[in-house]
Structures are given as C-alpha cells and as structure tokens.
C-alpha cells in the first residue's frame, strides 16, 4: 500500500515509524514531515492544513490510505474531502472531529448522554460570563471554545483571574475566533490519565493507558505546554477503573456520537481526571496525543496498518489488538524558552551516541548538512521501553544524557509521580 501521513511532530514520527514497519507498506509519504520523519518516509512540501493540496497529491500519486494525524486538518474536514474524492482516509470526519474542535459541543454532548464531566455553562456574551463567575466563585476554570494549541484553558484560583481570562479570550481575542464563546467549568481535583482508543464508530478498543506531563518545569511548575513527557501504562489506571471508564465514558461516547449521526472513525483521546467522585472527562481529542503517541505506539504489538484498515472498513471487532509487556517512557527535549519564545537553528549533537534500543522521535528538527538543527519548541522525544516503568524511565534518561544542544531543556521527573504510587 502507498500511505500518506499528515502532520509534522513527534507524534507523526512515532506513527510514521509504526506505519513504515508494516509489511503492507510499500511506499510512505508524509506531508509536511520533519527532519527525523525523512528517515522513514518521503516528506512532501504540502502544509498539513492544505486540504486541496493533499487531495491532489493523493490522487496523483496513487495513495491507498491517508492517515490524518493532527487536529487542524481534521477540524477542516480533510477526511471528508478525501472520501469525496474516493480516497480512503484514517481519522474522523469533520462532524465527529467537532468533539475536539468545539468544547461547547463536547460539553453539551456529554450532558445529553450522561457522561461524567465537570459541570459547565457556555457563554457568547461577556457580561453574562462575568456575572456567572461572580456567582460561582473561585477556583473556577475558563476555556476558549475552539482549538488554541492546548493553551485555551485557564485554571483560575481567584474570581479576578477568571474575569481577566474571560476578557482576554472574548474581548481581546487572545486565541482568535476560538474565543467567540467561552466555557466556564467547575474546578475538579485529582490525577490525570490519558486513554487513547481505536474505534470504527461501533467497536471501541482502548489502548494501554498513558500519562502526559503538561507543565514545563519539574514538580508540575510553570506554564502548560503541549506535553513534556509521557509514560505508558499509567499505574494509577487500575483494571477496576478501566472497566468503569468503558461503561461510563468510552461506550456511551461512541454510541452517542453514532446516535447523533457523527460516527467516529479513527483514534479518540479521552483525557480523564480521577476525581474523588470517580473518573470524569476533562476533554476529548480526535487524534493521537503528543507526546502520548511516542510512549504508547512502541508498546503496540499489532500491525498499525492492519488496525487502520479494520477501522476504515468498519471491521475492528474482528481484529485482536495486542500489547507488549512492561512499560515505556518518553522524555521531551525542548528549546530554551518554550512554550514562550525560543530560537531555532541550534545544532544538535550526540544523536549517533544514543544506544540502539532507545528511540529518538523528532518533533521539531531540520536536516542541516549531515546533522540536525532545532526547528521548533518541542524538539525531540526520547523513548525507551523496560520490563518495569522504573527501568523504562532510567533508560529514556540514558538517551537524553547522550544528546546536547545549546539551551536544551527537559524535565528530570517524567514518571516520578507515578512511581511513587
């Protein structure tokens, strides 16, 4: 099969690696890809958001399957456009991807189907939102409705901070049109776990659980990022919890979407908070997580292309999906200054010294002569597996220790909290 992957981050490098390893794959393209993805796929210079460009390329290059991995093209309806052109595509259509692209939609969907989540109210009027915040008090959570690169959520400890968040989202449009509506949510407490699942719209198959580390500094300090590291599986996610989540969250979500005429095919991402009242959904995403994909996919023991075909053709129920034993850990190495401003173009050294059992996924790199330079906020995801979580963490940090560039930043405590459980 000729496969085209859409995206350019560490998640896409992990997906590309799994697709390239399949005996079904005769040719793998990636648009636009990055310096590391170029080692496993032929990168083509088409933006991930260029729907018409992707359809044209797929048609002219005999592409059998397009894997749409990132949120923007899904929200733009890339899968719908490909299907219209008769090209098979892995990922939800626009009317199902809305569970990520509109928090207002996903909150009212969860309310309608009794799926546990934080109590909320949605506002398109700024004064009404401010009045509601004063009535409710703090702590309280303010969210922009649309996609905001993981930055549109403000957990406000005071009423004043929540009011300020609403004004900056709705009046100053800090996240652009994403701020036409705000969602105000009840503040929940508990540890967080990610569960990704394959679904063909009827069958839902949860993957091994994982856990992201969103804050930029050790000890969960500093601003939120796209994610600074992940472990798989997450020791907090017991079999009892898993069974509860299937009954209370995963099945009702997939069945509810189908009942709404929004059948979801692809990977669905459940971000769950383990609250004292039980598991509750923080949010849905319509795709693999980044960096979760870099920790979860190396644990997958079934051909990813077989899974994609089963999902697209609606026969996921027939395919057993197996996982490796042990655990994995991905440590993200980022540019100095990320998630705010950072410089690009710093020379990365030591990649050849990384032991071969450790995988280095490229998130933001560019080829430069014989080597690589930094080309993004998150630069690399250094991933290792081990018989235990402790061993996986230690091995991932062996890989990190081999790699250097001027100003490289990484957390030193990925997985530590889970180990203390």
- Closer of 280 and 362 to ligand AMP (Cβ): 280
Query: What phi, psi does 135 have (nearest 5°)?
Result: -70, -40
CB closer to ligand GLY out of 163 and 292: 292
The reply to whether 50 sits near ligand GLY by the rule CB under 6 A is no
Please pick, from the candidates 212, 228, 273, 331, the single residue that binds ligand GLY as defined by CB under 6 A: 212
Q: 95 near 84, Cβ under 8 Å?
A: no
Q: Which stretch binds ligand AMP (CB under 6 A): 77-85, 179-187, 331-339, 370-378?
A: 179-187
- Contact 118/184 with Cβ under 8 angstroms? no
Q: Which of the listed partners (ligand GLY, ligand AMP, none) does 188 bind, with a CB threshold of 5 to 8 Å by partner kind?
A: ligand AMP
Binding-site string for ligand GLY from residue 280 to residue 309, where x marks contact by CB under 6 A and - marks none: -----x---xx-x-----------------
Shortest distance in whole angstroms from residue 317 CB to ligand AMP: 30
Which tokens sit at 270?
A: 């459940």
**Interacting residue with ligand AMP among 37, 66, 118, 130 (CB under 6 A):** 118
Pick the closer one to ligand GLY by CB: 116 or 289.
289
Structure tokens that stand for 302 in this block: 């079934």
Partner whose binding site includes residue 117, from ligand GLY, ligand AMP, none (CB under 5 to 8 Å by kind)? none
Residues in a beta bridge with 249: none
Contact, 316 vs 266, CB < 8 A? no
Q: Name which position in 78, 153, 193, 308 contacts ligand AMP (CB under 6 A).
A: 153
CA 238, 265, 2, 24 torsion: positive or negative? positive
Q: Which of residues 183-212 bind ligand AMP (CB under 6 A)?
A: 185-188, 192
Binding to ligand GLY, residues 156-195 (CB under 6 A): none
Binding partner of residue 118 among ligand GLY, ligand AMP, none, CB cut-off 5 to 8 Å per kind: ligand AMP
Please give the C-alpha separations between residue 176 and each of 70, 151, 173, 419, in angstroms, as whole numbers.
Answer: 19, 12, 5, 40
Length of the chain: 421
Site for ligand GLY in 232-291 (CB under 6 A): 285, 289-290
Centroid of chain to Cα 313: 24
Residue 327 has phi, psi (to 5 degrees) of -150, 170
**Which of ligand GLY, ligand AMP, none interacts with 187 (beta carbon under 5 to 8 A by kind)?**
ligand AMP
Residue 290 contacts which entry, ligand AMP, ligand GLY, none (Cβ below 5-8 A, type-dependent): ligand GLY
- Spatial separation of the C-alpha atoms in residues 334 and 375, rounded to whole Å: 10
- Side-chain half-sphere of 163: how many Cα atoms within 13 Å? 12
Distances (CA, A) of 212 to 14, 148, 396: 16, 18, 15
Q: How far is the CB of 398 from ligand AMP (least distance, A)?
A: 29
Query: Quick one: what does residue 201 bind among ligand AMP, ligand GLY, none, with the CB cut-off 5 to 8 Å set by partner type?
Result: none
Cis peptide bond prior to 139, omega within 30° of 0: yes
Task: Give the span between the Cα atoms of 376 and 179, in whole angstroms.
Answer: 25
Question: Which helix (H) or strand (E) segment is 380 a member of?
Answer: strand 378-386
Phi-psi bin for 112: left (phi > 0), alpha (psi -120 to 50), beta? alpha
> Binding ligand AMP by CB under 6 A: which of 42, 64, 72, 271?
271
Cβ 206 to ligand GLY shortest distance, Å: 17
**Residue 8 C-beta: closest distance to ligand GLY, Å:** 14
Residue ranges that bind ligand AMP, judged by CB under 6 A: 118, 141, 150, 153, 155, 185-188, 192, 214, 224, 271, 282-283
Residues that bind ligand GLY (CB under 6 A): 150, 212, 227, 285, 289-290, 292
């Amino acid at each position: 099969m000729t496969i085209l992957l859409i995206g350019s981050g560490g998640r896409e490098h992990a997906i590309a690696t799994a697709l390239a390893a399949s005996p079904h794959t005769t040719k793998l393209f990636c648009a636009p890809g990055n310096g590391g993805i170029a080692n496993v796929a032929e990168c083509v210079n088409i933006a991930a958001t260029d729907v018409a460009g992707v359809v044209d390329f797929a048609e002219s290059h005999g592409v059998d399957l397009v894997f749409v991995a990132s949120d923007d093209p899904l929200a733009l309806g890339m899968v719908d456009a490909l299907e219209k052109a008769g090209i098979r595509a892995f990922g939800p259509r626009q009317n199902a991807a809305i569970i990520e692209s509109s928090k207002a939609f996903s909150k009212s969907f969860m309310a309608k189907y009794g799926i546990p989540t934080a109590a909320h109210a949605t506002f398109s009027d700024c004064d009404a939102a401010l009045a509601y915040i004063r009535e409710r008090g703090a702590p309280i959570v303010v969210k922009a409705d649309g996609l905001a690169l993981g930055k549109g959520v403000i957990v406000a400890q005071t009423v004043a901070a929540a009011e300020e968040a609403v004004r900056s989202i709705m009046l100053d449009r800090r996240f652009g049109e994403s701020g036409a509506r705000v969602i105000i949510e009840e503040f929940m407490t508990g540890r967080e776990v990610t569960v990704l699942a394959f679904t063909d719209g009827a069958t839902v198959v949860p993957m091994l659980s994982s856990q992201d580390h969103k804050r930029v500094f050790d000890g969960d300090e500093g601003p939120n990022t796209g994610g600074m590291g992940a472990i798989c599986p997450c020791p907090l996610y017991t079999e009892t919890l898993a069974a509860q989540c299937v009954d209370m969250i995963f099945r009702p979500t997939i069945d509810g979407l189908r009942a709404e005429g929004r059948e979801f095919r692809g990977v669905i991402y459940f971000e769950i908070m383990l609250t004292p009242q039980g598991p509750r959904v923080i949010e849905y995403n319509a795709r693999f997580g980044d960096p979760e994909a870099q920790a979860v996919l190396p644990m997958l023991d079934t051909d990813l292309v077989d899974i994609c075909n089963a999902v697209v053709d609606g026969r996921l129920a027939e395919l057993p999906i197996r996982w490796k034993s042990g655990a994995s850990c991905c440590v993200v190495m980022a540019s100095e200054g990320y998630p705010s401003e950072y410089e690009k173009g710093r020379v990365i050294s030591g990649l050849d010294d990384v032991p071969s059992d450790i995988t280095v996924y490229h998130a933001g790199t560019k080829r430069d002569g014989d080597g690589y330079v930094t080309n993004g906020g998150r630069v690399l995801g250094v991933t290792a597996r081990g018989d235990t979580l402790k061993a996986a963490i230690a091995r991932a940090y062996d890989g990190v220790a081999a790699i250097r560039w001027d100003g490289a930043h990484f957390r030193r405590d990925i997985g530590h909290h889970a180990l203390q459980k």
